[in-house]
Amino acid sequence: MRIRRSSVTVLVSAALLVPGIAACEPGGAKPVASQGPATSTDAKAALLASTLEIAKGNFSFAISSDSTRGEGVVHLPSRSARMKMTFGAAGSSMAMDMIYIGTDGWAKIEGDGLEAVPGLGLLATGKYHHLDKSRIEGLALLDFDFEDVDPAGAAALTQAVVDVRETTDDVFTGNIDLTKATDASLVGGSIVKDLGPAAAKLPFEAKVDAQGRLTQLTIKVPAAGATAAQELQVSYSDYGAAPAPKAPPADQVVEAPAELYELLK
């Protein structure tokens, strides 16, 4: 599963949704100074191993940045998943609640002033839109890839670590090169482009549980271009014990209109 910032931008900007979601473009960023000692081989190996359990697809997660908040569940044993995302700020936001069970999918879209926006008003039903699987393949914001269940791309991010040390039990700190992790959904290509050379060395902190499984990854990003100073963060929990999502009640479901697919092409 990938949370693609580009897809979100298409949905919001194509309809000129609400003020406050779009960002302005001030100046550039200066490279961040290196922190900590050279990479510890043992620490790097432990960090890489911490993401292996994610691929098994049985966990809960939370993800956040300056203008995005989300949480969800992946339950590969039942081929189901749920993701609830909010984009923007209070008074100028859009929310999506997406549920996937087998070959079925549902999406509920809400937002401030959504009804008045051309092209999006039909989506403001307050109900879940049942998705036509044949029409959402390749639409990153709506489709769910059960072959790629990580919502943030933690494996790619840990592989992009430049230096790392274990500062205390179960806590790792160091620097990460985001130019080597542009496919990670947590990052987004626009952040790397705005940061320029600074993207090659950004401070991070990672936490693992008693079994060595990743529980939290935080990357500190300075302001640059359209990118605000922020922390990119993803958390994982309920390894091996995540609750399987359920389909929405039938009286809360309508078929998705053609406009939904067109907006996200």
Split at pLDDT 50, 70, 90, the class of 21 is: very low
| Contact in structure between 99 and 19 (CB atoms under 8 Å) | no
The CA distance from 196 to 32, in Å, is 11
User: Which pLDDT band holds residue 151 (cuts at 50, 70, 90)?
Assistant: confident
Q: Token pair for residue 37? A: 């000692």
- Chain Cα centroid distance, residue 170: 24
**Please, is 236 exposed, middle or buried when counting C-beta atoms within 10 Å of its C-beta (0-12, 13-18, 19+)?**
buried
Length of the chain: 265
Q: Give CA–CA dist 35/175, Å, rounded.
A: 7
Beta-carbon count within 10 A of 195 CB: 24
Residue type, 21: I
Residue 190, pLDDT > 90, answer no
Question: pLDDT, tens digit, for every residue of 56-104?
Answer: 999 999 999 888 899 999 999 999 999 999 887 666 678 889 999 998 9
Q: How high is the pLDDT of residue 11?
A: 43
Distance CA 70, CA 13 (A): 20
- Given strand 68-75, what is the order of strands in its sheet? 161-168, 171-176, 202-208, 214-221, 230-237, 58-64, 68-75, 80-89, 92-101, 104-111, 128-131, 253-255
Give the pLDDT confidence score for residue 123 in this predicted structure: 76
pTM of the model: 0.82
Beta strands per DSSP E along 40-160: 58-64, 68-75, 80-89, 92-101, 104-111, 128-131
Amino acid, res. 186: L
Coil, helix or strand at residue 120: coil
Whether the predicted pLDDT of 150 surpasses 60: yes
Most confident of 4-8, 141-145, 165-169, 230-234: 230-234
DSSP state of 201: S
Q: Which two tokens stand for residue 141?
A: 């914001």
Look-up: residue for tokens 């179960």? 170
Q: Are 59 and 237 in contact (CB under 8 A)?
A: yes
The H or E element that residue 168 is part of is strand 161-168
Integer Cα distance of 209 and 82 in angstroms: 24
> Is 5 a residue whose pLDDT tops 50?
no
